[in-house]
Amino acid sequence: MRQYSWAVTVAAAVWLISWGAAFCVADDAAPTDQKQGPIFVATEENDLFSSLFTGIHTDRHYTQGMKALWLDGDDELPRPAKAVADFLPAWGINVKADRFGYDFGQNIYTPSDLLTSALITNDRPYAGWLYAGLVLQRRGDVGDTGIPVMENFEVNLGITGRPSLAEAAQENFHRYAYSNDIPEGWHNQLATEPGLLLKYQRLWRLSPDKEMAKYFDVIPHVGGEVGNIEIFGNLGETVRAGYNLPDDFGVQIIDSPASASGGMTAQTAPFSCYVFGGIDGRYVAHNLFLDGNTFRGGPSVDRKPWVADWMMGGAIQVCRHFELSFVRVVRSTEFEGQQGADKFGSFTGKFMFRF
């Protein structure tokens, strides 16, 4: 905890500084009342992507993730989702648009040594997480300030163990890609357990004025997750700089409490590009993939409560309908005895439809 709690402190300090600057921007912030059309988002994450230019291949810890997301256009909610949106208190937001969607994904976790069949007791256990979920987003601004804000509510239902198909996915991929590197320890994976995960995140978009919002912004966020899979609270922010910044709240990685946002509007520019960097600090009270199964014994490690992510990447949007982004993530050690930080890369393709 002593080693990395400072990173969470840095995230909090930067987050507060950005809010100190917010009061000079509010009335000229970028508009959020434009109707956004549906989007389909596909994200692929792998530790291999963190070393694309070095040729060094590693499989360890969070080694692979994929997620698909569909979001309907603004205010195109099915009746039950609209009832939930109407029921939720405003919490200081002038709500201008609601949207609803569905997601599906799989995460794969392994120890560093894939070539032993023995139970490894001092490294992260083999585990998989297969899930599907519902997403509700609402967008607007804060009180009389005009600061754009978005809230993301999400519920995921899924399963761990063999039904997660993580074992089959990794073994089959390695047979084709690395014939001499077949994982041997999946019989030691965490047991089958149904999972529930509730996610919430609020994000703001700050920029000096309406014109500068096309080229520079800061996106603070705060949120967390609760369920038998994970329990944590997080806080951090992203800084973006580029040309024709999109009217969204930045690139999200798979285990962020927020899903992707944005979409095509009548004012969407035909081309945009930007680079970004960010930090996210978490206090983790529970992580099933480190702590082990809830109601039975099995492999586990001693989880660290403080975890920090450092992120850097870029995005390019062409023809108003497609955006491709990449982010490289460096994650601080998550358990006692872990040898060095983890690194992975995340590619996201966003397809934007009619407005």
Q: What is the pLDDT along the chain (355 residues), one digit of tens a residue?
A: 444 455 555 555 445 444 444 433 443 444 445 899 999 999 999 998 987 666 566 789 999 999 999 999 999 999 999 999 999 998 889 999 999 999 999 999 999 999 999 999 999 999 999 999 999 999 999 988 889 999 999 999 999 999 999 999 999 988 887 766 789 999 999 999 999 999 999 999 999 888 899 999 999 999 999 999 999 999 999 999 999 999 999 999 999 999 999 999 888 999 999 999 999 999 999 999 999 999 887 899 999 999 999 999 999 999 999 999 999 999 999 999 999 999 999 999 999 997 5
239 within domain boundaries? yes
Interior angle at CA 330, CA 329 and CA 334, nearest 5? 120
Number of domains into which the chain is organized? 1
355 within domain boundaries? no
- CATH at 169: 2.40.128.140
183 within domain boundaries? yes
Residue 339: give the domain boundaries: 5-349
Can you give the pLDDT at residue 233? Answer: 98
122 within domain boundaries? yes
154 within domain boundaries? yes
354 within domain boundaries? no
The pTM of this model reads 0.89
196 within domain boundaries? yes
Can you give the pLDDT at residue 74? Answer: 95
237 within domain boundaries? yes
